[in-house]
Chains A and B, each alone.
Chain A
Amino acid sequence: DAGITQSPRHKVTETGTPVTLRCHQTENHRYMYWYRQDPGHGLRLIHYSYGVKDTDKGEVSDGYSVSRSKTEDFLLTLESATSSQTSVYFCAISQSGEQYFGPGTRLTVT
């Protein structure tokens, strides 16, 4: 499983509250990614990182921010959660171009 963990694995929060999801890797990979998965949309890239403090936007970045202060941790923050952000969030790492996914976080915004 490429040494990737995500926390929390499940979260229920209320509209308007801030939420931070954590992705942790143990194998010193340079590239890390956050995706969201919704029925009928497949996997869509939110943000990605290509090194400590180096991040860039993906296809669906509005309403999300990220930070990477250490190689092993990539954080995804929803500053003010909305119901449209109810989804399953997957973190991934890239190893020689191949991407491997974490176990996912199911987020419900009520």
Chain B
Amino acid sequence: GENVEQHPSTLSVQEGDSAVIKCTYSDSASNYFPWYKQELGKRPQLIIDIRSNVGEKKDQRIAVTLNKTAKHFSLHITETQPEDSAVYFCAASVSGAGSYQLTFGKGTKLSVIP
């Protein structure tokens, strides 16, 4: 089955700096890569996703890049703000295969220091 590794497990940045979280996956058939943000005591929220037919996707201060050859993808947050503090999860799946099963990384706790 799919295996997703996520690094780092914790990340502290100064407000205004950039944050980068990296994930690798094992199944070359995976073609859908979402990122979730989870605040303390809340449900995971989908913040951005990328499909394998593109290499980069941006949404305001958030971007995701995908390298299919190396089987890794990354989340980039620019101009970080205290409200970006949360746990971020990457995931991978074979979209279109029917079940849309997601395999998640173990999460990165991001702390933005004011």
| Complex: A33 Cα to B102 Cα, angstroms | 10
Contacts of A40 in B (CB 8 A): 106
B101 in the interface, Cβ–Cβ < 8 Å? yes
Q: Contact partner of A98 among B49, B89, B103, B104, CB < 8 A?
A: B49
| Complex: A31 Cα to B99 Cα, angstroms | 7
Least CB distance from A37 to B in Å reads 8
Q: Contact partner of A50 among B34, B99, B102, CB < 8 A?
A: B99
Cβ-defined contact, A94 with B43, below 8 A: no
Contacts of A100 in B (CB 8 A): 46
Q: A45-B101, A45-B102, A58-B101 are in contact. Are A97 and B32 (CB under 8 A)?
A: yes
| Complex: A26 Cα to B63 Cα, angstroms | 32
Least CB distance from B73 to A in Å reads 16
Q: From DSSP, what is the main secondary structure of chain B's interface residues?
A: loop
| Complex: A31 Cα to B6 Cα, angstroms | 26
Which one of A12-20, A66-74, A101-109 is at the interface? Answer: A101-109
A56 in the interface, Cβ–Cβ < 8 Å? yes
Cβ-defined contact, B93 with A42, below 8 A: no
Cβ-defined contact, B100 with A42, below 8 A: no
| Complex: A90 Cα to B42 Cα, angstroms | 10
What 8 pairs across the A-B complex have the smallest Cβ distances? A42-B106, A97-B95, A101-B43, A42-B104, A43-B104, A94-B100, A97-B100, A101-B44
* Interface residues, chain A, with chain B CB atoms under 8 Å away: 1, 31, 33, 40-45, 48, 50, 56, 58-59, 90, 94, 97-104
* Interface residues, chain B, with chain A CB atoms under 8 Å away: 1, 6, 32, 34, 42-46, 49, 89, 91, 93, 95-96, 98-107
Selected A-B contacts with CB under 8 Å, 28 pairs: A1-B43, A31-B100, A33-B101, A42-B104, A43-B91, A43-B102, A43-B104, A45-B102, A48-B99, A48-B101, A50-B98, A50-B99, A56-B99, A59-B1, A90-B43, A94-B100, A97-B95, A97-B96, A97-B100, A98-B34, A98-B49, A99-B34, A99-B100, A101-B43, A101-B45, A102-B43, A103-B43, A104-B43
